[in-house]
Amino acid sequence: MKETRNFSSPILLSLLVVAVLGFLWSGDMAPTHWLPEAVASEVAAEEVATAESADSAQEFQLRPAPRPGREDYPDVGVSSRSIVWIIAQMHLFFGALVLAVPLFVLVIELLGRSTGDARYDDMAHEFMKISITAYSITALFGGTLALALFLLYPDLMAYLMQAFGAQMLVYAMLFFMESILLYIYYYGWDAMRYGNAKWVHISLGLLLNGVGATLMVMANSWATFMMAPSGVNEVGAVIGNIWEVMKGPLWNPINLHRFIANIAFGGAVVGAYAAYKCLAARTAEDRAHYDWMGYTSNFIAILAFLPLPFAGYWLMAEIYAYSQQMGITAMGGILAWLFIVQAVLIGTILMAGNYYLWSGMSRTEGSKRYQGMIKYIAVVLVICFLIWVTPHTLILTSGEIAALGGSHHHLLGPLGIMPAKNIAVNLMLIFTFLSFQIYRRSDKVATVSWEKAGNALMVAIYVVAIVNIIFAGVYYGYFTNTVYKVGASVTQVVSTLVVIISGVVIDAFMYRKAKTLPSFWGQVSNRSQYALFALPIAFTWLMALMGYVRSSVRTHWHVYTVMKDNSPDNFIPTIGYAGNMMTIVTVMFVLFVLFIFWIANLSNTKQAPPLSVTKKAGEAA
């Protein structure tokens, strides 16, 4: 049965967005309260004067950022920020999904092409089925977000239009191209499945990902401009070209962070789809297929997740370099507590990922060789998790302070600071990799002559890395001054990376011509599939949490240092309030994803013909 799809919604929304942007860009959008003479500082006035005298023929005029008063924000009866928060977060969730899925689908397609295994191609196609419905929803939320922003924050949007100008039109046009490529890529899958046509299809996938990545970095530039504006002077007047406005100090760190995080997020969501299908499977073949699909999705999610903390380090380092004040607001100021929640979320992700791998070892008899290690890995993970969530500063009553003998517990106090947490995080990553490594080895028996030496080398690398991580954390974290603490974390990260890279390389060579033991897909506990539900829930919540901190570090500024937020919502909400919002958007996302899963299945569902029709067909025959 041929599938049909409603193309209209994203394309109509694209048209709407282009029309709105075009209208605003071409017209004299500036609100009447943009009064440069009233608000610009002397610097701006001088710059205006200089620019006018130097280039009066072109009537060139610098215009500072608007300074809206509270009365300039439309009051719609409910918090404008909450409305935009929910819509923006939903748009981001689905945007992340539709940008990430084609990326690993392309890799899986290439894998299928090179191995000739049709299962890869089928799985990639099925992944795209999820992405294509999600794309329509992304467009719907994108259009709604644009509308909400222009209605609720007209001055901010007018200023961003001024700063980014035609770039926003380019964005809208690329959105068209993305739509067209996506539909051809998905619907042309079977039409371009073999021979040279397959290469055309793969090229289309490459192009699709190129356009998708461009869309992402363009949208990122708006967010990073609001955090760390560039190409503008100190009163917000645009003095640089579009490239200078885009390439702020946080742009590339955010690009990298979002790129990796999107893949992890996308992998987790399609993993939940596979888990659901696996649990609901009615045949052994289906269960095996979706078990394999779930495993692949989890592999993608965890593989992308492992380097994410390092991208996070880079982002935070750049934030500190741009503004120490902003960095401390995030890490050591009012937002510091949310990193306890972050620890809970990442701990959940790592524990769920590990649990899934351990459960998956039941698929093969060969895993018995390694099952004894699992309990030790579990103990290390739990201890590290507990250290990670240990808060440093507690809110205490005077009685509690007296009972503790100070504001910090003599044991928990030292465990609450970054050196202890850095040790814990790095050990969790290393032991997660160990789980992954023994899982991968479970169904293989090495045949190379240097197996013992290779294993000894691997063990040595693990031991040295773990000792180095603990030593660097303890010595530089507790026995030297603050300056060296940051340096120690670099050593620790390098140790972790060495373990991961050397583990992959050694195993690649050691198991090149390995004997493969039988492995039975589908022979896995139902409980393990719930770990695949835990991953997207924790990822979704984590994305929402990080969105909260990224937005909040701007404090009471729409565009940091150049355009103040004077709306009624210009305060940083409490972590509890933010947590409630995160759960709302997570539940909404889950409901929409369920809708997508249902739609994806509906296209495969064929109603049995009524008896009368069957009878007529029989008579005709």
Partner 1 sequence: MSNKTKAPRGVLAKSMGFSLALALLFTLVANLLPQVEGEAPVEQKVDLGALTVESYAALGETLFSGKGTCALCHNDLGRAPDILAINMVEVANQHMQDERYKGSATDAESYLHESMVDPGIYVVKGFGKKGSNDTISPMPAVDKPPIELSEIEINAIIAFLQAKDGHDVTVTLPTEAPAMETASPEAAGPAGTIEEVVAKYGCQACHKILGSGGDLGPDLDQMVARFTREEIRQGIITPDVVIAEGFPPGVMPQDFAEQMMVKELDILVDYLVDSKKSIAASLPDTHATDGDDGGDSSSAKAVIGQFGCQACHIIWGSGGKIGPGLDDVGARLDAGQVRQSIVDPNAVIAKGFPSGVMPPNFSEQMSDAQLDALVTFLMERK
The SS3 assignment for 232 reads strand
Closer CB to partner 1, residue 275 or residue 301? 275
Window contacting partner 1 (CB under 8 A); options: 51-59, 183-191, 394-402, 424-432: 394-402
Which CB, 439 or 476, lies closer to partner 1?
476
- Could you tell me the two tokens for 103? 């990326």
Q: Which is nearer to partner 1, 32 or 482 (CB)?
A: 482
Q: Is 316 helix (H, G, I), strand (E, B) or coil?
A: helix
- Asked if 572 interacts with partner 1 (CB under 8 A), we say yes
39 binds partner 1 (CB under 8 A): no
Q: Which two tokens stand for residue 489?
A: 């974390």
337 binds partner 1 (CB under 8 A): yes
Name residue, tokens 């060296």: 484
- Token pair 């997508």 is found at 596
Of residues 492, 496, 494, the one with CA closest to residue 477: 492
- Comparing CB distances to partner 1, the nearer of 371 and 526 is 526
SS (H, E, C) 280-293: CCCCHHHHHHHHHH
x/- contact string, 403-432, with partner 1 (CB under 8 A)? ---x--------------------------
Please enumerate in sequence order all residues whose Cβ is within 8 A of that of 276, keeping only pairs 6 or more positions apart, or say none.
Answer: 529, 533, 597
How many Å apart are CA 317 and CA 260, to the nearest integer? 18
Q: What single-letter DSSP state applies at residue 238?
A: B
User: Which among 346, 494, 507, 525 is positioned nearest to 432, based on CA atoms?
Assistant: 346
Options 119-127, 281-289, 297-305, 363-371: segment touching partner 1 (CB under 8 A): 281-289
Tokens at residue 597, please?
Answer: 């899963």
Q: Inter-axis angle of helices 338-360 and 526-552, to 10 degrees?
A: 160
Is residue 435 involved in binding partner 1 (CB under 8 A)? no
User: Closest distance between partner 1 and the C-beta of residue 497, in Å?
Assistant: 22
Identify the residue among 222, 310, 520, 533 touching partner 1 (CB under 8 A): 533
**Torsion on CA atoms 190, 196, 198, 202, rounded to nearest 10:** -140
Extended beta strands in 330-419, E state = none
d(CA 487, CA 483): 7
* 563 token code pair: 């355009």
Q: Interface with partner 1 includes 555 (CB under 8 A)? A: yes
Tell the smallest beta-carbon distance from residue 289 to partner 1 (Å).
12
Residues 556, 613, 615, 616: which binds partner 1 (CB under 8 A)? 556
Binding region for partner 1 (CB under 8 A) out of 3-11, 131-139, 499-507, 573-581: 573-581
CB of 579 to partner 1, least distance (A): 3
**Identified binder of partner 1 from the candidate list 166, 332, 382, 463, rule CB under 8 A:** 332
**Which one, 92 or 351, has the nearer CB to partner 1?**
351
386 binds partner 1 (CB under 8 A): no
Nearer to partner 1, 137 or 326 (CB): 326
DSSP string of 432-491, one letter each residue: HHHHHHHHHHTTEE---TTHHHHHHHHHHHHHHHHHHHHHHHHHHHHSS-HHHHHHHHHH
Q: Which of 107, 279, 373, 457 binds partner 1 (CB under 8 A)?
A: 279
Piece of the chain touching partner 1 by CB under 8 A; list 66-74, 335-343, 434-442, 451-459 = 335-343
Please state, in angstroms and rounded to a whole number, the distance separating the CA atoms of residues 191 and 507: 38
Question: Which residue type occupies 117?
Answer: D
Orientation of helix 284-305 relative to helix 338-360, angle to 10°: 140
139 close to 7: Cβ distance less than 8 angstroms: no
575 lines the binding site for partner 1 (CB under 8 A): yes
Query: Applying CB under 8 A, does 590 fall inside the site for partner 1?
Result: yes
Window of 181-189, 420-428, 536-544, 609-617 that interacts with partner 1 by CB under 8 A = 536-544
Candidates 497, 530, 551, 601: give the one binding partner 1 (CB under 8 A). Answer: 530
Encoded tokens for 587: 């539940």
- Binding to partner 1 (CB under 8 A) within 168-207 occurs at none
d(CA 309, CA 347): 13
Please list every residue from 344 through 363 that binds partner 1, using CB under 8 A: 344-345, 348
> Which tokens sit at 17?
């967005």
Answer yes or no whether residue 562 interacts with partner 1 by CB under 8 A. yes
523 touching partner 1, by CB under 8 A: no
Residue 295 in contact with residue 322, Cβ under 8 Å? no
Question: Does residue 525 belong to the site contacting partner 1 (CB under 8 A)?
Answer: no
The region of 96-104, 238-246, 317-325, 428-436 touching partner 1 under the rule CB under 8 A is 317-325
397 binds partner 1 (CB under 8 A): no
Kindly list the residues in this chain that would bind partner 1 in the complex (CB under 8 A): 234, 272, 275-276, 279-285, 321, 323-325, 328-329, 332-335, 337-338, 340-341, 344-345, 348, 395, 398, 401, 406, 481-483, 530, 533-534, 537-538, 541, 552, 555-557, 560-562, 565, 570-580, 582-583, 586-587, 590, 594
